[in-house]
Amino acid sequence: MAEIIAGYASSHVPAIGVAIDQGKTGENYWQPVFAGYEASRKWIAEQNPDVIIMVYNDHATAFSLEMIPTFALGCAAEFAIADEGWGPRPVPKVVGHPELAWHIAQSVILDEFDLTIVNQMEVDHGLTVPLSLAFGQPEAWPCPVIPLAVNVVQYPPPTGHRCLQLGRAIRKAVASFGPDLKVVIFGTGGMSHQLQAERAGLINADFDNRFLDLLVNDPEAAAAIPHVDYLREAGSEGIELVMWLVMRGALSPDVRQIHRHYHVPASNTAVGHLVLENQPA
Ligand code: DHB
Ligand code: FE
């Protein structure tokens, strides 16, 4: 049977992608950001997952105000890299896993989560930057990726609790898929940041570290954080963190923290990174 073996959470700051693409990762500004990803690069290469489920958000790239799905599952065979204004990033196309994606859609929708099914979608920095952090600059990504786009751009986003519950439904879906597949689920975005208006540049390391602690040890408490607290404490874009709760919900109640990294700043954003392995019940 297929199995989710671990979760990988990471910020998706677009400037990180630019630093990788332009060979700047060793510069003084960037070195401490990337140093925190070396251990997890080795870890994921050793795990050698068969499929990644990538919980991420689209930044008005594939979707716009014309259409705002709360949860959109990519069921296509491949996903092109979006042009976000400077040309598409020079990274491989994303190959999907339609069989597992459709199985997840069926299982989760019959479990009463009303996902949008997407058969054509370009993917932006929200998806490609975490892949680059995990795998560097390969000719092709080492495994298929199933994108799960979460609306955190236009109010109202889903609640943290809903995200945690969806993760649990995804775990059940994967566990009922016949072929033996090792799956790693990514939760991306965050941490505290605000890109506009009077509080642009806001970063809150206390909130971020508390969130990391809760996510590992008390996910129900993390899921109970209301939208207004993210806004107040973590800035207008801090709400991206609800996506980490989908990842956490897809893991066992107790997890083993394999790796944790926190660094301020990267561009306008606090960078956080966690690797959590499932523990047997
Ligand atoms: C930045 C961070 C984001 O999450 C994003 O989507 C765009 C920009 C930033 O820090 O610059
Ligand atoms: Fe973002």
pLDDT, residue 280, reads: 79
Spatial contact of 164 and 247, defined as CB atoms under 8 Å apart: no
Structural domain including 63 reads: 3-278
Cα(94) to centroid(ligand 2), Å: 19
How far apart CA 183 and CA 2 sit, in angstroms, is: 7
The total domain count for the chain is 1
Nearest ligand, measured from the Cα of 200: 1
Cα(266) to centroid(ligand 1), Å: 9
Taking the chain (281 residues) in consecutive chunks of 10 residues, what is each chunk's mean pLDDT?
A: 97 98 98 98 98 98 96 98 97 98 98 98 98 98 98 98 98 97 98 97 98 98 98 98 98 97 96 95 74
pLDDT, residue 44, reads: 98
**In Å, what is the CA distance from 125 to each residue of 110, 200, 237?**
31, 20, 15
What is the separation of C-alpha 192 from the centre of its chain, rounded to a whole number of angstroms? 15
The model's pTM is 0.98
Task: Please indicate whether residue 70, judged by its CB atom, sits closer than 6 Å to ligand 1.
Answer: no
pLDDT, residue 42, reads: 98
59, 103, 125, 273: which one is catalytic? Answer: 125
What is the separation of C-alpha 129 from the centre of its chain, rounded to a whole number of angstroms? 10
pLDDT, residue 276, reads: 98
Domain CATH number, residue 182: 3.40.830.10
Residue nearest to atom 4 of ligand 1 (CA): 13
